[in-house]
Amino acid sequence: MLSSLNKYRHAFLIGLQSNLVYRWNFAVRGFFSLFHLTVVFILWGAAFAGAKNIGGFDFGQTLTYFVTLLVLQFFIGAFNEDYQISEEIRNGLINQFLLKPINYFAYRFSIYVAARLVSGALILLPLLIALPFLGSYLTYPHEWWRLALGLPAVVMSALIQFSIAYCFGMLTFWFLEIQGFVILSMAIEVLLGGQMFPLDLMPAGIFQIARFLPFFYQMYFPGAIFTGRIGLPMIYQGLAIQLCWVIALLALNQLLWVRGLRRHTAVGG
Amino acid sequence: MHHYLRIWLATARYSIVRTLMFRGDFFVWSVVELFWMTVNLLLISVIYGHTDSIAGWSKYEMVLLVGTSMLIQRFLMGFFWSSIFEMGRNIRTGYFDFYLAQPGNVMFMATTRKLDPDGLINAFVAGGVVIYAARQLGLHPGLGDIALYLSMVFSGLVVHYSILVLSISLAFWLTSAQGIEGSYFTLTEFSRLPKEAFKGVVTRILFVWLLPVVVISNAPARLLLTRYGFEWKWAGALFVFAALWFALAVFVFHRGLRRYASASS
């Protein structure tokens, strides 16, 4: 059992090294995400000038939500995993995994965890620089149970993030070019994952529908737990729905892998 | 001039034929762009569900501003994006040699090689958003106003084009300009904000005047709004910015071109 896990530990360590090579790319990306935060600050600051609170939250709480989501994005967001998987299928690099006693999903997930550790650590740097300015606005609730319930939600969010990216990567077995699908899904995820605006600001009916979609649990759900945007009953329900989505997506990943391999042709040597 | 028009028409014809070959791809990318535009409009809709004004701008004034910003960006995506994006990669790989051997100015040839009809189709949608917002606001611009609006949109396009060419030209020095295009999209986020929302001196100087992304969208939108109307300061600033940024892009591109040494392997 341990020896079988050992190979994924090595995949994780290689992932860590190869992502450290691209540390400057992540650092630049992190730096530019401060520009995005500036847009959020200006836009919502102007919106709050005409309203004391929006959706029951003040400007500080709303800004805290966006900062939390930014951190989550760098720690659990699937950046280009779909594209990497797609390239491996398209270029035939995947063939080597078919001949080895290695689970492709576990291998890619190990690399994803390594990559997010690097990118997550690197977003903290620009945020530390911005902290003297942002610090006075950040207001987190003083309820420690939110941390206890939020952390498992983050782990499941990471699994959902990766699984959706993995599913899109698997589409390469059927479609030669998946970039269009990926960017379309990115737009859906940005909207229904709560990166554009807190989902609780949507009309109640649409919010209720969104709660049953996997995108809700990609980013918004853990972010809303940490920032106090949702209460305990909704958190318990949410954790149950999130777990269902994790299981469903893992099953879908396996199904696409098995069905995709039937269509796959390994050419050359 | 006629020579360049003929070259451009040939590349446009080639791009359209190529699009007809990959119809599915065209459909998917059109939907992608349409969806991103919808996401931006939904953001406005959600915020105005909770407040009446953003920096003194009403909901449909903001839709007009965002529509104008989208219109300029769709033109950029349709006419230039693919060519400029590939330029960075071609400089790195050495495929840029191909443009040096072509019968025309290198910058023109490299930045106008491909047309993306999906971007251009969505320019109609962005135009529709502007018209819809204008109707909701009860605006009735005259022909002169519309002509001036379109010339401002064109000037905005020139500024965006120049900033993008400048950024990608860095590949002549850095070899790799990968990731810079993503940063460009971050900058365009500022163009969807009204100038009045910029309270800080630093942000105002940086994003309104140094990188004029805010002026580009605000100037034409303000022209249509009756409470602002025609303002010499804004129109003049936009045309001067367009000329200055284009001149800078031409200068930097040609300086960079001197450093181009093809690929080693």
Q: What are the structural domain ranges in chain A?
A: 2-263
Kindly indicate the confidence band of residue B185, based on its pLDDT and cuts at 50, 70 and 90.
Answer: confident
Is this prediction's pTM over 0.90? Answer: no
Cβ contact B47–A43 (<8 Å): yes
In terms of pLDDT, which residue wins out, B83 or A180?
A: B83
Which of B39, B85, B207 to mutate against chain A (most A CBs within 10 Å)? B39
Residue of B nearest to A190 (CA): B39
Q: What is the pLDDT of residue B180?
A: 65
- Sequence-distant (6+) residues with CB within 8 A of B265 are none
ipTM of the complex: 0.84
Instruction: Report domain extents, chain B.
Output: 2-259
Of A22-31, A143-152, B24-33, the one with minimum mean pLDDT is A22-31
* Chain A residue numbers touching B37 (CB-CB < 8 A): none
In terms of pLDDT, which residue wins out, A156 or B181?
A: A156
Q: What is the pLDDT of residue B64?
A: 95
Q: What is the pLDDT of residue B85?
A: 87
Q: Which tokens belong to B92?
A: 């790195």
Measure in Å the smallest separation between the Cα of B2 and chain A Cα atoms.
36
Measure in Å the smallest separation between the Cα of A246 and chain B Cα atoms.
26
Query: Hey, is B53 helix, strand or coil?
Result: coil
Whose CA is closest to A27, among A129, A123, A115, A131? A123
Q: Look at residue B23 and tell me whether its pLDDT is greater than 50.
A: yes
Q: What is the pLDDT of residue B265?
A: 45
Q: Look at residue B155 and tell me whether its pLDDT is greater than 70.
A: yes
Which string of b and e fits B102-124 if b means at least 16 CB within 10 Å? Answer: eeebbbebbbbbbbbbbbbbbbe
Q: Report the sign of the C-alpha dihedral through residues A222, A228, A234, A237, in that order.
A: positive
Percentage of chain A with pLDDT > 70? Answer: 97
Measure in Å the smallest separation between the Cα of B36 and chain A Cα atoms.
6
Measure in Å the smallest separation between the Cα of B71 and chain A Cα atoms.
19
Q: Look at residue B205 and tell me whether its pLDDT is greater than 50.
A: yes
Question: Which among A38, A191, A202 has the least Cβ separation from residue B203?
Answer: A38
In terms of pLDDT, which residue wins out, A19 or A209?
A: A209
Kindly indicate the confidence band of residue B129, based on its pLDDT and cuts at 50, 70 and 90.
Answer: very high
Kindly indicate the confidence band of residue B240, based on its pLDDT and cuts at 50, 70 and 90.
Answer: very high
Cβ contact B28–A45 (<8 Å): no
Amino acid at B150: L
Q: What is the pLDDT of residue B157?
A: 95
* Chain B residue numbers touching A42 (CB-CB < 8 A): 193, 197-199, 203
Measure the CA–CA gap between A219 and A70, rounded to whole angstroms: 9
For the ranges A160-164, B95-99, B198-202, the maximum mean pLDDT occurs at: A160-164
Question: Which among B179, B193, B198 has the least Cβ separation from residue A29?
Answer: B179
Which of B36, B62, B167 to mutate against chain A (most A CBs within 10 Å)? B36
Measure in Å the smallest separation between the Cα of B198 and chain A Cα atoms.
7
